[in-house]
Amino acid sequence: MSIKDQTITFAAMCQVAYLVQQVSRHGLLAADHEKEQQLSVLFNSIMETSPHNTLAVYGGELVNVKKGLELLIANLGDSKHHHEKVKDPVFTRYLISLINLERRLVKQPKQLAELGKRIDASKRQLEHYTITSDTLTSSLASIYSDIISPLGSRIQVTGEPSILKQTINQHKIRALLLAGIRSAVLWRQVGGKRRNILFNRSKLIDTAKQLLNTL
């Protein structure tokens, strides 16, 4: 399987973890055009159920996962150099949790079938609402709550309590985690394995750097 596809899908998971942190710590993203665009790409990836190729899931443009590629390099790379930021354990925990939840999901054919049905229903809403509208966000969040959360080992999201209390932020976080599961499924389908993160780290980092250089 292509290391390029593994890098793109892993970068998308990194982008999810990053945006979950942004929402949980700072709240709404609408005022920040760049983050809102990243959110839109990730929500759309949930709807893209029969893509031509891996990149098509993320709008067919490498720039759509640019932030994720940068985060992959920063978090998988060596932080021996004193000028680099210390790696964020919360960010890493989100990634591991997404991968573990996806493993549980694939062992539950009923839930997988239900997930497909619910996503199809959300696609129909796209005829009337934009992907990041409150309606669609809440619809994606409810899919996560109804199908993914009951699988167990819930993802503990940490952030600013006053921000996490707001319904719209809760919905955005759950919708993002659903996008994270989508990318985790895809990552496994293109040959991603947990051990790759340990043993193929340098390949993933090199590929991410090469992809960034093409932008």
pLDDT digits (tens, 9 = 90+) for 140-150: 999 999 999 99
Inform me whether the pLDDT recorded for 62 exceeds 90: yes
pLDDT, tens digit, 9 for 90 and up, residues 137-173 = 999 999 999 999 999 878 999 999 999 999 999 999 9
Inform me whether the pLDDT recorded for 34 exceeds 50: yes
Inform me whether the pLDDT recorded for 63 exceeds 60: yes
Q: For residues 151 and 145, is the Cβ–Cβ distance under 8 A?
A: no
Q: Length of the chain in residues, anyone? A: 215
Inform me whether the pLDDT recorded for 135 exceeds 70: yes
Separation between Cα atoms, residue 22 and residue 28, nearest integer Å: 9
Amino acid at 207: T
The dihedral formed by the CA atoms of 124, 125, 126 and 127, expressed in degrees to the nearest 10: 70
Instruction: Give the architecture-level CATH label for domain 3-213.
Output: Orthogonal Bundle (1.10)
Inform me whether the pLDDT recorded for 68 exceeds 50: yes
Q: Which stretch of 41-50, 58-67, 73-82, 108-117 has the lowest confidence by average pLDDT?
A: 73-82
Q: What is the pTM of this model?
A: 0.94
Q: What is the pLDDT of residue 32?
A: 83
For the chain, domain boundaries: 3-213
Q: What is the pLDDT of residue 197?
A: 85
Q: Is 192 helix (H, G, I), strand (E, B) or coil?
A: coil
Q: For residues 115 and 143, is the Cβ–Cβ distance under 8 A?
A: yes
SS3 of 147-161: the string is HHHHHCCCCCCCCCH
